[in-house]
Structure 1
């Protein structure tokens, strides 16, 4: 299993657009056997601190690759470019 912590920063003033984009692409996770474990917004986000943090479990690298290449996800690239300034992916482990 792969567990990702996804850190997202919006373009200035695009917090709502980022959330709407993420709503759409996260809905595709199930197609690839993935699960959204947690999704939270940081009210105190800055250039250094992300606006949104997600934890996602995926069965394996093939599932992650398939999710990233999902045609319905890639079709939303313009929405992503308009709303998301920065994304960081961290491979993490569940501690409990």
Structure 2
């Protein structure tokens, strides 16, 4: 059995688009995921539910401070404010990599 990796911070983000705003939500995600690199983050995988209303992202940050700075990034916050009620809701789960 593999041991969990301790390299950085690994997250799963479950993103649900607002009803009637899936395309706006996808554009928002495109924009904010592009900001990860400036905070030591990488998008390892991006998947979309077959209904088109949910995405699941596997994101790694070099350190927890990267996540913290990403969350308060002025450009990310401006994107979120610009779409208002069309903003997706996101549940973030910290996970351990146990694959071989």
What's the TM-score once normalised by structure 2's chain length? 0.83
Gaps of 5+ in 2: 1-7
RMSD over aligned Cα, in angstroms?
Answer: 1.6
Which has more radius of gyration? 2
What corresponds to 2:3 in structure 1?
none
* Shift of residue 20, structure 1, vs aligned partner: 0.2
Aligned residues: 92
What corresponds to 1:2 in structure 2?
9
CA distance in 2, matches of 1:23, 1:53: 13
CA distance in 2, matches of 1:14, 1:23: 14
Partner of residue 41 from structure 1, selected from 48, 53, 78: 48
What corresponds to 1:83 in structure 2?
86
Over 3 Å counting, the alpha-carbon distance change for 1:85 and 1:28 in structure 2 is: closer
CA distance in 1, matches of 2:29, 2:88: 13
What's the TM-score once normalised by structure 1's chain length? 0.86
